[in-house]
Copies of this chain bind each other. A is one copy, B any other.
């Protein structure tokens, strides 16, 4: 029996997870951001609450997925954007407070691990999960284990440059992948198309510029709207650029797409596959399979529970 914690900027979600990846109990509490100490203590409280639900069964591991740079080897959260952790010995604190072995990792990595162990890619040994959200995150799995690099930070594909001299990124480079391929980027591209095409059906679905979601352009395309189809086509082209780079570099057996945009399924994956088949370097031999994530929001909790495996 394991405990998984998905630490987010808004909530601390956690649960009791069986050894075969079933979420047996789930809880959530708002993230305290007043101070490092208050947040540490809130996380320990959630873990102890979940532990109490185990009916005395042995908990052999606690794992915590963190929205930032977590060094899995040292147990230290190096830095998070929206959370008061800087060089915080999170694993050490939790071990001391709960008496349980604790491993930490990045939240996108935890989700990737869950999808490969128990979700969409459970039949694969080597896979990359790309999460299309506010930014673009990724988790890299080799031989059913996470690859985190020399400092726990591997998988930052959102900051590969796909448009040199493109939009400025807060990472210090220009034209980063996530500025063109994330859900945020898709929404921006949709709003730009709406301004250019006041006649387009994009307006019917979004109502206002503020009403745009990652679904708007896909909905308009399905309703036969030309501007909507153009937004989707251009977005898929941007997305393909990073996907082809990853395939040329790693040739994973599978790429799993997660996040809201990935819910479009084949409407997203079919045109993406077409571009990749045409442009990826090795046109011979096995191809990388494209999959949609299956575990949704629970992936973060389930994967966190297995970070120590």
Q: When the two chains form the complex, which single residue of B157, B171, B248 contacts A159, counting CB atoms closer than 8 Å?
A: B248
Q: Give the nearest-CB partner of A166 in chain B.
A: B164
Q: Does A297 contact B (CB under 8 A)?
A: no
Whether A253 lies near B150 (C-beta < 8 A) is: yes
In the assembly, what is the distance between CA of A148 and CA of B287, in Å? 13
In the assembly, what is the distance between CA of A62 and CA of B211, in Å? 63
Whether B279 lies near A150 (C-beta < 8 A) is: no
Name which of A51-59, A223-231, A239-247 contacts chain B: A239-247
- The interface residues of chain B lying within 8 Å CB-to-CB of A149 are 126, 250-253
- The interface residues of chain B lying within 8 Å CB-to-CB of A198 are none
- The interface residues of chain B lying within 8 Å CB-to-CB of A284 are 69, 78-79, 151, 153
Within 8 A of B (CB), among A139-182: 140, 142, 147-157, 159-164, 171-173
Whether B286 lies near A252 (C-beta < 8 A) is: no
A275-291 vs B, Cβ < 8 Å mask (1 yes, 0 no): 00011011011111000
Q: Does A71 contact B (CB under 8 A)?
A: yes
Whether A156 lies near B246 (C-beta < 8 A) is: no
- The interface residues of chain B lying within 8 Å CB-to-CB of A251 are 148-154
Q: Give the nearest-CB partner of A86 in chain B.
A: B284
Least CB distance, A78 to chain B, in whole angstroms: 4
Known: A244-B173, A250-B149, A278-B172. A285 touches B69 (CB 8 A): yes
Whether A151 lies near B282 (C-beta < 8 A) is: yes
Whether B285 lies near A250 (C-beta < 8 A) is: no
- The interface residues of chain B lying within 8 Å CB-to-CB of A152 are 251, 285
- The interface residues of chain B lying within 8 Å CB-to-CB of A69 are 282, 284-285
Whether A147 lies near B153 (C-beta < 8 A) is: no
Whether B160 lies near A248 (C-beta < 8 A) is: yes
Whether B241 lies near A164 (C-beta < 8 A) is: yes
Whether B241 lies near A153 (C-beta < 8 A) is: no
- The interface residues of chain B lying within 8 Å CB-to-CB of A244 are 161, 173
A-B contact pairs, 28 of them (CB 8 A): A69-B285, A71-B285, A78-B282, A78-B284, A126-B150, A140-B249, A142-B142, A149-B251, A150-B253, A150-B286, A151-B286, A151-B287, A152-B285, A153-B282, A153-B284, A154-B250, A154-B251, A155-B249, A156-B249, A157-B249, A159-B281, A160-B248, A161-B245, A163-B164, A171-B281, A172-B278, A246-B249, A249-B249
